[in-house]
Amino acid sequence: MLRVDLLTREFPPHVYGGAGVHVAELAAVLAQHAEVRVRCFDGPRDAVTEASGVTGYSTPAALSRANPALATLGTDLVMADDVAGADLVHSHTWYANMAGHLGGLLHGVPHVVTAHSLEPLRPWKAEQLGGGYALSSWAERTAYLGAAGVIAVSAGMRADILRVYPELDPERVHVVHNGIDLSGWRRPDTGSSTVQSAAAATVRRYGIDPDRPAVVFVGRITRQKGLPYLLRAAAELPPEVQLVLCAGVPDTPAIMAEVVALVERLRETRTGIVWIEEMLPRPDLIAVLAACTVFVCPSVYEPLGIVNLEAMAVGLPVVGTATGGIPEVVDDGVTGLLVPIEQSDDGTGTPLDPDRFVADLAEALTRVATDPEGAAAMGAAGRRRAEDHFAWTAIADRTMEVYRQVLSQA
């Protein structure tokens, strides 16, 4: 049987964003087609997890105080040595790309990269990493140009890859969308009375009023997620509309301070501002989503956005920025609304007219949040779209097709 080693920074229970969700779901469905071994960061896993083929790595002690990017490359070296015996290695995000690149060279096997984002399109990371951003950019570029195959999670992402790395042969860049585990994302009101009671208690615990319309955001506090634009738009929403922020893990103290100031300003003029900073377990997150009227994705950079699929699976309409892969997920006017944006081409994605973007975002959110029947219809259409186009079984089949193509050319 084909052995595939998946290399990733994130893997349960240490998941911080969409890439970690993606790898966890992909590993599960690929196991029906191949022997899958997962190699991840954040230290050894428990005995049960390790028995299932998951190996966690700690930062080498000698690099424990090094720049985070350099420490990452140290972990990659250990992972690269351990992929001996694999038929193919498949890395996710720059954190693990160099492990895949070096492991492929060392052991003479093809390396496939899945692009969840691109370092040149996230220049604000220099605020976090300093000179480490140059290292992460070098690692990503080296891995992409050396890869036997590159998987983009959307057609928009594929276009970005070929624009940023024009040396790549377009034939080596394939589109395989992110997916959603539909069985794990269902509204509480479709479950047992116990599930419904637990969901209602969760909503009350977080201070959400289920009788008021609500806009909900889920994501990390990063420049790419566009949270400051949403907070400015929220000031223009009707007073009865709540804003629920499931937002944490700030990239830098500076953006955290900006978000705190904007939230405090909102709370001076309106009620119903709920900020949940911890990462919620899935049942709690589903309860929060189901209690709201509309999901918002104000990102200025978003290759696809698994959070949009999760919201759609729970039956929420999505108001999202018309950028990256979001238009491939949100069917404008059917499963939600797309907010137009003209962006800088300097890699930051900054709106050229931020006031217009904020006004258009506020208008779209108001339109959906104040029309509960229309919102419910869009949400139902979103669930159907998730079922028809983003089920993991189809994505596993497509990924295996890429593997077979890459192996036939090795």
DSSP structure class, residue 335: T
**pLDDT tens profile 173-188:** 999 988 888 888 988 8
CATH of domain 3-179+391-409: 3.40.50.2000
CA distance 263 to 268: 9
Distance CA 159, CA 324 (A): 9
CATH 3.40.50.2000 range(s) for the chain read: 3-179+391-409, 182-389
pLDDT truncated to tens, each residue of the chain (410 aa)?
899 999 999 999 998 877 888 999 999 999 999 999 999 999 999 888 887 899 999 999 999 899 999 999 999 999 999 999 999 999 999 999 999 999 999 999 999 999 988 998 887 777 777 888 999 999 999 999 999 999 999 888 999 999 999 999 999 999 998 888 888 898 888 778 888 889 999 999 999 999 999 999 999 999 999 999 999 999 999 999 999 999 998 888 999 999 999 999 999 999 999 999 998 999 999 999 999 999 999 999 888 888 999 999 999 999 999 998 899 999 999 999 999 999 988 777 899 999 999 999 999 999 999 999 999 999 999 999 998 889 888 889 999 999 999 999 97
Q: Residue 26 CB: number of other CB atoms within 10 A?
A: 25
CA distance 347 to 16: 23
Rounded to the nearest 10 degrees, how much is the dihedral formed by the CA atoms of 126, 128, 134, 137?
-90
Q: How far apart are CA 150 and CA 175, in angstroms?
A: 9
pTM (whole model) above 0.95: no
How does pLDDT run across 232-277, given as a tens digit for each residue?
A: 999 999 999 999 999 998 888 999 999 999 999 999 999 999 999 9
pLDDT of amino acid 24: 92
Strands of the sheet with 294-297, listed across from one edge: 273-276, 242-248, 214-220, 294-297, 318-321, 336-339
Asked if 157 contacts 177 with a C-beta cutoff of 8 angstroms, the reply is: no
CATH number of the structural domain 182-389? 3.40.50.2000
